[in-house]
Structure 1
Amino acid sequence: MDFPKARQYECKSQGNHWTPATMKSAACRAALENSSAKQAAFDNWNGYTGFAMAPHSQQDARKAVPDGMLCTGNHPEYSGFNQPRSDWTTTTLQPDSSGKVGMKYYYTARHAPSFIEFYINKKNVDPTKKALGWDDVELLKRFEIEPGDASSTHTVNVSIPSDRTGKAIIFTRWQRYDAAGEGFYNCSDVNIKTRDGSEIPDENGTGDDDQVSGWVDKGAFITTADNPAVGEQVRFRLMGGTRGDNIVDVSLAISAANVANNKWIVELGQLLNREHSNLLQIGQQTADETITFNEQQPRLNHVFLSDQSYGYAVEIVKNAETPVIVLDSYTLEPIATLSTTSGYPVTGSSKSEVNWQWKRIAGDSRIVAAPANQAKTEIRIPGGVRGGTVATFELSGTSPKGSVGKAILKVNVLAAEVIATGPVSIAADKGGQYRARANFDNNKGEVTYLWSLLKNSTEVSGGIDNRGSIKTGLPAGDYLVKVVAESSDGERKATRTSALKITASDDSDKTGDYEGWKASKTYTAGNTVTWNGVNYIARNWTRSEPGKGGDWKLHHNRVAVEWQSTMVYVMGNVVNYQGQEYKASQWISQNNVPGVSVLWKLQ
């Protein structure tokens, strides 16, 4: 998150995390002291991840990232950045007359399709006293990044509620649509000003094709035809996905206490807004796009959905004759195994007394539910069942009077898959870094990744190490990077290859005037080194790598050096980017791209 700046990015930008005594921010220093990863929590500022499996909803994210860790994703080693404090550095947000603020997200790697969810802590939650949990935030906007979108930034116009001023946290989740479910989590500390009467453009651009999105009005929440009686239930379902699965399934019992004066409508609307605000909002939308629930005239409220493809249904279960059956999961996407049967628990529930029965009603007969006569069953997938195999199960609940309620579970077996990311072209003297993740990797250390580098179908010995780092000094040419992911039990295995072009080094551009930098050595202010052909001088005591952060600055390079996203630059530095030279007009923080940022002047 570039604006407002994410907490860990702000602390990283301030520098000096390798020299804690010189850190200016007490909050950043406390984050360092309370993170077991220490400086790595700063240097890996863009790696605060969590893995929410399909369909990647907030409920899936809740399983991936525990309460109290929203600011760091599933990284307890970075927990210092989850601390509730009042002295985090804040960014001032000045909403326009309609409450909109342009929030900018910068991508160090592009992932499309994906989406970004923008949240704010609820008004009754004090983030200076409590580490954020999922029930402490409310959704402001969801922004979709379409397949093929190559933008490096998006600025999204987000509406701040009119009653929100002062300190708050903007929490964002950038979620990939992929088998691994990778998402990136950030907290931005802000100070919200009152609306100032100005206007911002409908699309606040940064040079890329920015997009904006909002809630979709799908129609009336409760109509005049909906008049349940005492003893009945009102059921609300939200359906989505390619198969129209139930994403939300909520029932409300009608009693003497809520049947009069439409109290039941208020109870149901508030329940949905409280527990599922990332997917839907019940209320009326004003000109500034704020959605507020109308308690005085609840039948005037509409259903607003975060995805236009979603649908909803409201039904009255007459006299509670038909039991309402709810599943803890309506879809399963297990990963295929070679020979071992795998089991996946699914549990049904009902507020009525029922007898249970599971039954496969479609699909592959090798997939079974056992036991079949209990609410909780296990869906068993035998070894050898291939990815793409499907099955559909029905859970029925029969009341003592013979009324039957049903719920549907759909099973879609996925093939083992590994996704690799890394450069497509590197210079021979630069090397490169690849990363991989398998859709069967559950962060338990049970998956190994074996890397190899191939040229003309022959493995290059030592060309890539077991961490995915490409060796420097390799001959120019076309290569294939291969990674094999395998579970510890050998039941799941996947391979991915990626094309890599290595270009020849241009020795004429190398400066190399000083002793080479050594990772084991401590440097003090004024020390000079050469690293990757570039000359640097230390700004302060440091052990950090030149070219990363602000501890080193360029020093007496005879020609323009290649711009690095990880480098902090000072006024007068000259860099080369995409064949053109740029000069820094002032101090420039990381990830300000020449040709995009106005702080760089074309020479």
Structure 2
Amino acid sequence: MNRIPFLRWMSRIVLLSPLVATSPAWSHGSMIIPESRVYNCFLNNPENPTDPACRAAKDLGGSQAFYDWNGVNQANANSNHQAVVPDGKLCSGNNPTFRGLDLARGDWQATSIAPRADGTFEFVFRGTAPHATKDWIFYVTRHGWSPTQPLRWADLFEFCRLGHVPLDGDRYRLRCPLPQLTGRHIVYTVWQRSDSTEAFYTCTDVEFTGGTNPTWTDAGPLTAQNALPVGTAISLRLFSAGGADVETTTHTLVAGQAAAADWPFFVAQTVNAQSTRARIGVIDAAGTVTPVRAANGNRVYTLASANLRHQVDIRLPDTNTPPTAVVSANPTSVTGAGDVALSGAGSSDPDGQALTFQWQIVAGAHATLTATTGAQSTLRLTAPAQDQTVTVQLTVSDGVATDSRTVAITHRKAGGGNVDYVYPAGIGNYVAGQTIVLGSDGQRYQCRPYPQGGWCNINSAYHYAPGTGTHWQDAWVRL
């Protein structure tokens, strides 16, 4: 809507009254281009607004809200905006001082805005007290939203999110791609601090002008931080708003293209020649995107009508050298039951990549591992009925290649002579005075004669396991 400059200057003169001193020092800012709802009322005579919507807001909540135009906040938001600001109270930020801003009316003064050639618009937020920023989030009302109904979160969709933006004097200049909308809408802005849980909220009434929509939307810079090896594959991936893959364009660097000042230019050339939905370079007033040969300066542009997101993937050439597995065991010979300490700590990777470890018993019985992953493990052996060799394999991986080594442990039976069973196998068939078993300690035990020998067949390792049970001597004789 058109505005009369004289009235604007008159409103500034009115603000010289002593009431200005009541504005609290802890207030922090609001949108001034385009003017937020509260800032517009502040500029149009807070004590006697000529604007009907501002007058209605004053009648409901008083004029103090206009003087406090830079304090629409929630102290404990902590990014939980929908939890602390309920439907119907978005413009006030659920702060009772500003409740007049929530009035659902169709006559709030709106500012006409239109995108630049690259599809962006520079919002300007006046920061009377700057703070460290977590994020700026921009929402806008959907098609079909009614200005005469209380504003709800469901009426909005996010169209821009920014992180740290440097302060320019007392202004934050926030460049965002504009959504493809026409007519009257509300732009809703959230400023979340990173040095506090406090957040600020702004309703801005706008009129999206018609006309030709821009072809390209500025999606962000393509910046080279350093040179890349020849053979590096750089891909521009495009995604739909829902995250589905839409298009991938890849350029592989050859000799003469790998310097930081060069590779963005050659990537841009390939994208501009092959992609139907993206361009990289510098855009002119006519909307033509041309690459520049520099580490900084090229920007990614996506098709405005497609509402796309993008990601740049950099895949270095495969020059991986496989790792070397080294395995040790201590001791390498065990008689009866015992433990063997296993270590793969001597394994290494020539490329300095972190290694993962996998242990496996590939031969032998009466053996278990306390751990199958990690650089260390323990081989736990129980007494065998016969001599054997237990073989353990270690496999190391750098995420691309693997290497394996084995270690053999000689495992001998203890006590000498033959046995009928390795305890507890065969319980129930032991003959009093005859049956000989091999205990878990590697010793041989004979079942006591009748009647004590009856305890041999009781399956209670805690009480009658030969050599280890609490009452083993009631049932067994050590040989």
Give the TM-score, by structure 2 length.
Answer: 0.39
The structure with more helix, counted as a fraction of residues? 2
Q: Which has the larger radius of gyration?
A: 2
The TM-score with structure 1 as length reference comes to: 0.32
